[in-house]
């Protein structure tokens, strides 16, 4: 019998999610590759907050392909500063244009 649950909600530090996808600023336009980093209590909340932030930034649609929890702090930019922003409660959106 397993004594401790085996899930991602038992991390020692804060749960910082990274969401990878594409955002669309105009109907029919080519999508912009995005990485979104934020703190959230669970993946459903993370997706909801990410979509709200994208809407506030002018995106009318988004295709979110992957979601995961960062277990280590990134060391290379732009992810390192986005991670710090996420720790401070911001939703960091990294665009790859």
Domain boundaries, the chain: 13-96
Q: pLDDT tens for residues 67-96?
A: 999 999 999 999 999 999 999 999 999 999
pLDDT at 14: 74
pLDDT at 2: 39
Q: pLDDT tens for residues 37-69?
A: 999 999 999 999 999 999 999 999 999 999 999
Residue 46 CA to residue 4 CA, distance in Å, equals: 25
Quote the pTM value.
0.84
């Amino acid at each position: 019998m397993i004594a401790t649950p085996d899930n991602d909600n038992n991390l020692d530090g804060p749960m910082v999610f990274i969401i990878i996808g594409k955002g669309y600023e105009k109907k029919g336009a080519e999508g912009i590759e995005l990485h979104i980093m934020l703190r959230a209590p669970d993946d459903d909340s993370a997706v909801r907050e990410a979509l709200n932030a994208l809407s506030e930034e002018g995106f009318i649609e988004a295709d979110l392909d992957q979601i995961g929890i960062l277990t280590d702090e990134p060391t290379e930019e732009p992810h390192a500063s986005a991670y710090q922003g996420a720790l401070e409660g911001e939703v960091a959106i990294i665009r790859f244009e």
